[in-house]
Structure 1
């Protein structure tokens, strides 16, 4: 069977990005894709992705010219609930995941020699052609199937087919190319495999691939005047924190920011071997060393201290959140940095700087939270420039946030960011084994089911009460969620820490009615939900579609449906009978739910305000049977 790990690093990286791009285009219903079963070693079928114009045609009109790409599949995808299981031309795919795919994307070419292929690829391509002919596609005798070599080429083909505005298409192409470049470097220089005893920051820095479905999963785009940085030229995980002094009247300060920052100033002064002279009426702001160029270019009143006044740091996965072990022990810093990761520039908006400390002090203590299970990393203080243009102000900002990782060992706990649990491909360990399986010894299905059951039970106990009672959804995706495990064997899961308030969703009337607290937030802030359904939508995406789906897949409990059996059982225990959430998520009518659309958002330049399309409701997914699908094109996919 073809394996991605057998590919050279660049080819493997290009496929990783192409697979995520195709996943978004299909799952967001930007393109139509059909599943045709076939019988080939390691391959259950082929996904036929139609070109943009062809996606709207009648199903009997398809020709070779209508095919964007063909993707051999190792697993049966999730079908649309209303797809025709008897249509010989193929069944409509609702959700296409990169883990469904074999590492080969094929383009249809007329009258052109196919690229050189290995014997295994040659056999697979022959089987694909045979399956399509048998299904009545009739691609023609002169057609060759050519392996896609460049994921950016795939994007250009799609963008042209929908006549996307040229500048936007070029920007997205640049970001996809960056993702491939940085992913290639990650494959060539994989992080060391974390052990259970590894410090929390090592787990943060153990990411090999990142987001499982976002096409810009490894994009690192540096905003001018930060110069372009090539992989290997600078260690984004080990930056130095510089200092700048600005007039107090130039800044908006929330909380006791200056007092909380004193240890950083003292450490920088010690490293410089000289006192830190602060001009009268000025406040010192910590600055990521890459961001110094933005400070100098945008804020002429800033006094930037020499490089000698610095503090070494280690960055968490987000790059902008940094741990300063030499200076801060109970807190860490979140800094505005002009770097675009995935689709977002990692600065801090004035609205976010305003929200964090106020939400932490006013709302968090009033929420329905079991403190033994869920800890909220509070944002204690913030600073942001007072420039009237928020797009400028966001480049000079910082937040002081609680750091529960420090001191966790003294409490008998190991804290592990959840996104690192599903990663594999590390140096020095068996290829393809995710950290959660390797570290916790989940070498049987029985062990994996038991581990997942424990995780899901606590996950729902941690994050559903605020949704059910307060109308508040934390953005509990794996990068924001830190799992707490006991140091003592067998390393029992104890609970979670949630961090970052930028992706909250809050229904103010429900919050006020349940707690007596009025949400103090800038008007029009993206966290405000107009209805409770908005809250439920955010929670489904972060908890179910993003967090639990990827965990279930790497535990090999998706295609057999057993992982979703666990989720349904625990969810019915956690959600009171008759509650609105039960209707929205679990009713027989809830065949689809609004899903966050990364590519739709990127193509209109949206980030904070989400765009949604109907995604299959995975809470009703029952698993699939290869034999049943091959024999009759029927599967136990999404049921009501």
Structure 2
């Protein structure tokens, strides 16, 4: 059971996400009355106190909300927002599920493994700041969370399935089984690691039963050293070797069922090959590559079963204790300043710190997009920051190459034009701006600004860095960010309400970089 404090904080976080998403996506004619924001909705006027205002929508709101002038219970606030976006009756249950799980995570003691990388991965208790159900997990019950949730410091042993080579499809360098599994494996066969939840889901699958009866499949059971899950829940890391696997889960986390169609695995492997052929990457920027995959041949088991079994082998975390950006930007259970703020304060100069971060993150992203047409899904949960003993950023790492993309007008050598990695140029640029700027940089600036000098001053620093970009591949894209009046943002709330997780809606946000650039010119 959650304490009242944790439940209240989880509800406040959910309300803040719902209201800020509503403001970003529907832009109702809200009125600021001093420190109170009045928002007209179909169900009445919602009034909420504003603690801090953000040009990119990362507002911090007060916990107390009124509806038509009367104090509104949490459930009434949720209902009013969901009604405004046309959500169905079941959506309120999903919000309640996410709130309950968030409260449980807030009640849990912080993870203290002694590994900075693991501790950051397993510290993300509130989740995406613009998602209505960032911690919903349909299909996983409370006992499952106790065993497998990263927020609770989970570690567990994987199950394994052995497949005859005649029924296997692979790409890149397939996953290498742990020694304890390899010892039980027939020569030439492939071992697929399975999350314990997925092993339970598939235990009675009739197609697998037929393959087992035919001698093409063997269940090896739980074997190997324990693994720990990253913030994504389904990517796991071997506690002894550091090997990492992205596993499918037939559970709906946020609004996606987290299985992996082989096409998506091919996309990740294609992206890794593009990165490898690029040669040296910009200084301070690195990619944690997805090396290869293995799965059951869809021609044997069908597309759904292949997606249920596709395992992607990922390179280990690099040395230096990199930490997932989302984890170090989230405030502590009792509202403590995020860990990255402590680093910035230790460094002593937030503007210089931000410049160094941009030099190893946004600027290299623009260089690679211009030079190779390659973009990364560099949102805060796919980006890792390495800092030195004095708190200064020394490296940026991106991961999860399923989200990488290549411009169709800039195909790198060796990449086929029909690769799932290839996007229309305008779509590729939209993806990079959303993930790298709106999702990643805007959160970073909002958090650092809130705890230091304010956002406006930091966006001016961003504009100054981009204005100074001289690399010929990156400069055109830097100029676009300096001049474009808007930036694209996913409309998570409306997309979730409409069941459009795979085909999300977008909205245009005022571009704070362009606003800061105009301020520089008029100063």
Q: Same fold by TM (over 0.5)?
A: yes
Name segments (4+ residues, structure 1) moved above 6 Å. Answer: none
Where does residue 223 of structure 2 map in the other structure? 309
Describe the SS at the equivalent of 1:103: strand
Instruction: Give the drift of 1:268.
Output: 4.2
Check 1:161–1:534 CA distance in 2 against 1; reply closer, same or farther (3 A cut): closer
Are 1:202 and 2:123 an aligned pair?
Answer: no
**Runs of 5+ in structure 1 lacking a partner?**
1-5, 39-44, 53-64, 79-94, 109-143, 270-274, 624-635
Q: How does 1:147-296 map to 2 (within 5 A)?
A: 147-150=72-75, 153-160=76-83, 163-164=86-87, 166=88, 169-170=89-90, 172-192=91-111, 198-222=115-139, 228-230=141-143, 233-236=146-149, 237-257=154-174, 260-262=175-177, 264=178, 266-268=179-181, 276=184, 278=186, 282-296=189-203
**1:16 maps to 2:18:** no
What is residue 477 of structure 2 aligned with on the other side?
581
2-structure distance, mates of 1:476, 1:256: 24
Asked whether 1:534 is paired with 2:442, we answer: no
Contact (CA 8 Å) 2:283, 2:360: kept in 1 or not?
no
Taking a change above 3 Å as real, the CA distance of residues 574 and 583 of structure 1, as seen in their structure-2 partners, is: closer
Question: CA offset at residue 281 of structure 1?
Answer: 7.2
Q: Which residue of 1 aligns with 2:415?
A: 518
Q: In 1, are the aligned partners of 2:157 and 2:222 still within 8 Å (CA)? A: no
Give the drift of 1:231: 7.5
Residue in structure 1 matching 2:266, options 347, 354, 359: 354
The answer to whether 1:466 aligns with 2:466 is no
Which of 436, 439, 442 aligns to 2:345? It is 442
Which residue of structure 2 lines up, in the alignment, with residue 333 of structure 1? 245
Structure 1 position 621, deviation (Å) = 4.4
Q: Secondary structure at the match of 2:364?
A: helix
Report the Cα offset of residue 465 of structure 1.
Answer: 0.7
Contact 2:120 2:324 in 1 (8 A): yes
Report the alpha carbon displacement of residue 66 of structure 1 after superposing the two structures with TM.
Answer: 4.4
Question: Of the candidates 486, 489, 500, which is equivalent to residue 595 of structure 1?
Answer: 489
Is 1:490–2:390 an aligned residue pair? Answer: yes
Contact 2:19 2:81 in 1 (8 A): no
Q: Do the aligned partners of residues 371 and 575 (structure 1) sit closer, same or farther apart at CA in structure 2, a change above 3 Å counting? A: closer
Could you tell me whether the CA contact under 8 Å between 2:356 and 2:393 is conserved in 1? yes
> Shift of residue 317 of structure 1?
0.9
Following TM superposition, by how much is the alpha carbon of 1:334 offset from its aligned partner in structure 2, in angstroms? 1.1
CA RMSD of aligned residues (A): 3.0
Is the contact between residue 192 and residue 295 of structure 2 (CA under 8 Å) also seen in structure 1?
Answer: no
Q: Describe the shift of the 1:618–1:190 C-alpha distance in structure 2 as closer, same or farther (beyond 3 A).
A: farther
1:288, 1:335 within 8 Å by CA — same for their partners in 2?
yes
Cα displacement (A) at 1:310: 4.4
Contact 2:161 2:194 (C-alpha < 8 Å) held by counterparts: yes
C-alpha separation in 2, matches of 1:351 and 1:243: 22
Instruction: Identify the match of residue 382 of structure 1 among 272, 293, 297.
Output: 293
Cα deviation, residue 607, structure 1:
3.0
Q: Which residue of 2 aligns with 1:400?
A: 313
* Corresponding residue of 1:100: 60
Distance 2:78 2:118 in 1: 35
Count matched residues: 501
Partner SS state of residue 370, structure 1: coil
Q: Deviations over 1:171-230 (max 9, x none)?
A: x33321221011101121142479xx74321221122322222222222222xxxx6335
The one of 208, 233, 238 aligned to 1:319:
233
Deviation at 1:614, TM superposition (A): 1.3
Partner of 1:138: none
The answer for unaligned runs of 5 or more in structure 2 is none
Q: Using the alignment, how far apart are the partners of 2:418 and 2:453 within structure 1?
A: 40
Give CA-to-partner distance per residue, 1:239-271, whole Å, 9 cap, x none. Answer: 3211112343333111342xx524x1x2247xx
| Alpha-carbon separation, structure 2, partners of 1:369 and 1:344 | 35
Asked if structure 1 preserves the Cα contact closer than 8 Å seen for 2:287 and 2:397, the reply is yes
Give the deviation of 1:402 after TM superposition.
0.7
User: Which residue of 1 is the match for residue 32 of structure 2?
Assistant: 36
| Cα distance in structure 2, aligned partners of 1:601 and 1:575 | 38
Residue number in structure 2 paired with 1:420 = 327
More helix by share: 2
1:478-518 Cα offsets, whole Å, 9 max, x none, are 111122334xx3254222221111222321221x2xx4333
**CA shift for structure 1 position 364:** 0.9
Matches within 5 A, 1:545-584: 545-556=438-449, 559-574=454-469, 580-582=476-478, 584=480
TM-superposition CA deviations, 1:282-313 (whole Å, max 9, x none): 53211011101232244332545354534310
Quick check: 2:367–2:471 contact (8 Å CA) kept in 1? no
Contact persistence 1:367–1:466 (CA under 8 A):
no
CA deviations on 1:12-55 (whole Å, 9 max, x unpaired) are 111111211122122012x50413232xxxxxx22222225xxx
1:456 equivalenced with 2:358 (yes/no): yes
CA contact (8 A) 2:38 2:48 kept: yes
- Structure-1 separation of matches of 2:265 and 2:358: 32
Q: Who is 1:112 aligned against? A: none
Q: Distance in 1 between matches of 2:116 and 2:362?
A: 26
Q: Distance in 1 between matches of 2:256 and 2:222?
A: 31
* Contact kept? 1:185, 1:231, Cα under 8 Å: no
How far is the alpha carbon of 1:565 from its aligned partner? 1.1
Report the structure number with the largest CA radius of gyration: 1
Q: Which residue of 2 aligns with 1:432?
A: 336
Of 436, 443, 452, the residue aligned with 1:543 is 436
Match of 1:70 in 2: 47
Distance 1:610 1:198 in 2: 36
Give the whole-Å Cα distance in 1 for the aligned partners of 2:44 and 2:118: 48
User: CA contact under 8 A between 1:242 and 1:311: conserved in structure 2?
Assistant: no
Q: CA deviation at 1:520?
A: 6.2
Q: CA–CA distance in 2 between the matches of 1:36 and 1:579? A: 38
